[in-house]
Amino acid sequence: MHILLIAYEFPPSPSPQSLRWTYLSRHLADMGHRITVLTIRLGGHTAGLPSVPDSIIVHRTYAGPVRGTLAALRDRRAKIAVREPPSSHATSPPPLSNIRSRHGWKQIVSDSAQGIAAKILFPDVRGEWLPWGTRELRKLLREDMPDVVISSHEPATSLELGLLAARKGIPWIADLGDPILASYTPARWRDRSLRLEQEVCLHADHITVTTDAAAKLLLDRHGRSERISIIHQGYEADSAPQSHGVVFDPTKLELLYTGSFYAFRRPDALLAALDRFPGARLNIAAITTPEIVVNAARNMPDRIRLLGFLPHRQAIALQRNADVLLNIGNADPSQVPGKVYEYLGSQRPILHLGSADDAIARLMARLRRGWSCANTSGEIAAWLQNAIEAKQKGMFTQGLDLGLDSVNEWSWQRLATRVDEILSSALR
């Protein structure tokens, strides 16, 4: 089967959606499918991402004036880095002054340019790709017609391109990481997002979402109940271990967070609780870190350690050595942090901060993979006290199931098998 994947987010992007379709496309290629990818030219190089096999043909196009300029700057920095390699390859945590926050001047300039463009372009600055993506898509459909097209959302631009393919009679799968109309959608784009979501529900041969709540939302909004499947995020079972260069203290309870921070995913209560427990340390590996976290790390250097950006495979290696992996739940139940499924493959306990009745809390209880507690300083402090005592007694993982057999359904290989079934169904 010839599959055309429309994926704005694809390596060298390290985003969750990029990782999702890198792993899925690799396993689909292993099954014998021929895969072509339409994506942007992002520029630069990101270390530690899963490799894209040569059998997958990637067409990279101009991203647009704003992102295209940023891509050229990344390429320039990458060339300088090749000419002037660092003198040391140590991966020890960077100094706090080097931790990226949203307040560095380069970040401010970049955010400002993209923010201005987002006021004009739908759904945000990534919408500037639409003319170039459309031109390349028409060329691909004309010269090498695929059997089926998959659109990877976000951004919604990839869905607009998918609709173009569907109008030409090509079977179309819409993969919705989040609903198009989400809690964070700007007010100016809410009506348009809802209309596009309706079009997707009307014209997609199959829709995949990452949560049951998202599937229910599409049913409630648009009456879409058939040919919709849950394909969660996953973990790579065969990922080779990497060196991470971070030393954990066996006398402390070492917590690790390798996700992103958003306005709807707050660490405030956790930071407040840590202030009371010198026997615990929170390790954070993130591309950008909020000022509240950077300031807390300055005030509590023995309890908060900022590791900066870690390549994906190094982050996975680090996960396999931490005492507990931290997941901070989203405010919107239709959005589940995909990182928690990646954590399942690390075979370490998970602490989920969120509602006691949300999807991840129920999953933790069913799998006996870890614990859940409310994202309040009091609840977190009570958990920390019990966990520190349990580790000191050598009973920290007692009663948990940390094997891979119980979580095999979330391996990328198993998830790709389900996608393969969906593709075959769409063709029929």
pTM score > 0.85 for this model?
A: yes
Query: Mean pLDDT score of the chain, rounded to an integer?
Result: 90
Q: What is the pLDDT of residue 273?
A: 95
CATH code for the domain of 310: 3.40.50.2000
Average pLDDT over residues 293-309: 94
Q: 349: which residues sit within 8 A by CB, 6+ positions away?
A: 323, 324, 325, 369, 370, 371, 396, 397, 400, 402
Q: What is the pLDDT of residue 415?
A: 97
Q: How many whole angstroms separate alpha carbon 372 and alpha carbon 377?
A: 14
CB 340 within 8 A of CB 350: yes
The total number of residues shown for the chain amounts to 428
Say if residue 88's pLDDT is above 60. Answer: no
Q: How many whole angstroms separate alpha carbon 364 and alpha carbon 352?
A: 8
Q: What is the pLDDT of residue 100?
A: 58
Say if residue 130's pLDDT is above 90. Answer: yes
Is 264 in the same domain as 388?
yes
Is 399 in the same domain as 420?
no
Residue 18 falls inside a structural domain: yes
**Domain span at 258:** 253-408
Q: What is the pLDDT of residue 386?
A: 96
SS3 346: coil
Residue 242 falls inside a structural domain: no
Is 29 in the same domain as 54?
yes
Residue 241 falls inside a structural domain: no
CB 160 within 8 A of CB 195: no
Which of 55, 18, 70, 53 has its CA nearest to residue 39? 18
CA 30 to chain centre: 23
Which of 186, 233, 219 has its CA nearest to residue 335? 233
Is 393 in the same domain as 422?
no
Q: How many domains does the chain have?
A: 2
Is 271 in the same domain as 420?
no
Share of the chain above pLDDT 70, in %: 90
Q: What is the pLDDT of residue 390?
A: 96
Q: What is the pLDDT of residue 114?
A: 74
